[in-house]
Amino acid sequence: MNADKPNLPKTVGVWNRLEPPRIINSKNIFKYMNGAGELYLGYRFRHLEVFDYTSADQGNILVELYFMESPDDAFGLLSLDWGGESVSFDGAPEAISTRFYTAANRALYGGGLLRLWSNYIYARIMAERETPSSKDAVFALGKAIATGTQYPPEPALVQLLPLEIDDVWKLRADRLSFFRSHLVLNSIYYLSHENILDLDLSAEAVIAPYQYISDSGDPKRSQFLLVQYENRERARQALNRFHDAYLPGHKKEKTAETAAGSPSLFKLEDGWMAYKLIGKHIVIVFESPDPESALAILQKNESNLLKKGGGS
């Protein structure tokens, strides 16, 4: 891990790095940031190193290096917002956009802020004042972080999602998020203030909408959620808890155990919902415009899951 630790320059343009960096861990993260600490602790956060670059009259630049347990966790933090200008640094794999679902080069810039995924590090580089000079400095720091890094693939769970279904539904990769915590899930797609899916740092989950454009030109969306647990029993218990909490007025059409054979389907105020237990995974479709679409999305994802060996 230390071999990939970035070597940040002492100076960049007119900005000079203060020493030493501030070290933030799970015990003092809430003193460093108000409210947002839970977001980072919702992944397997190890520690944060904060570097301050100062200048006489150009404002400051802040560099935050979030050291995570794995590249998947660093990817997850970037996946919470795909907005911004895509930035490419020298050394990125060729044709990476054809190999990955999301940001082609794993770095996004907007409003003086550069966010990037560099192996097991998630980085944020923020200029106090956005100017051409500060943008150049921010990009130079981003390049220093990315130089010599490995380019691991996106999380295996992300790669299980089909990009399209029946030549109709298209995956919105720009709305795809990888996470582990119910607090993170609620920031993306609110289900409940309680942890009704029994998520923790041992779980993995990905959520993304599928969309198609109707004949009238109106976009139709269905939200898709895939959760992987440590084992099948944990998944079964979580699905039962989810049903009891999320669908209290709906009798189980099938128990979570028999849902392994065929999906459960429900008509709700915001559309059709379907769920199914597949090995140690739960798949759920929300807000589908009709039952046929809900089942098509669920069944195609089930097929992908089983074909790629993820349904055990």
Query: Domains (ranges, CATH) in the chain?
Result: 2-146 (no CATH), 156-307 (3.40.1000)
Determine contact, residues 188/179, Cβ cutoff 8 Å.
yes
The predicted pLDDT at position 98 comes to 43
Strands 22-24 and 61-68: unpaired
- Output the CA torsion sign for 245, 258, 302, 202: positive
In single-letter form, the type of residue at position 100 comes to: F
**Cα distances (angstroms) measured from residue 13 to each of 91, 114, 133, 135, 168:** 22, 17, 8, 11, 50
Q: Tell me, what's the pLDDT at 106?
A: 85
Q: What is the pLDDT along the chain (312 residues), one digit of tens a residue?
A: 444 689 999 999 999 999 999 999 999 999 999 878 999 999 999 999 999 999 999 999 999 999 999 999 999 999 999 999 988 876 555 434 444 566 555 899 999 999 999 999 999 999 999 999 999 999 999 999 988 777 788 999 999 999 999 889 999 988 999 999 999 999 999 999 999 999 999 999 999 999 998 777 788 999 999 999 999 999 999 999 999 999 998 776 544 444 445 689 999 999 999 999 999 999 999 999 999 999 999 999 999 998 876 566
For position 307, what pLDDT does the model report?
86
What is the C-alpha separation between 177 and 294, in angstroms, rounded?
20
Contact between 278 and 305 under an 8 Å Cβ cutoff? The reply is: yes
What's the pLDDT score for residue 256?
Answer: 43
**CB 201 within 8 Å of CB 229:** no
What pLDDT was estimated at residue 152? 84
Q: Which of 87, 23, 9 is nearest to 53 (CA)?
A: 9
Looking at residue 60, its pLDDT comes to 97
Nearest to 80 by CA among 100, 121, 108, 119: 108
Q: What phi and psi values does residue 120 have, to the nearest 5 degrees?
A: -90, 10
pLDDT, position 281: 97
pLDDT of residue 91: 56
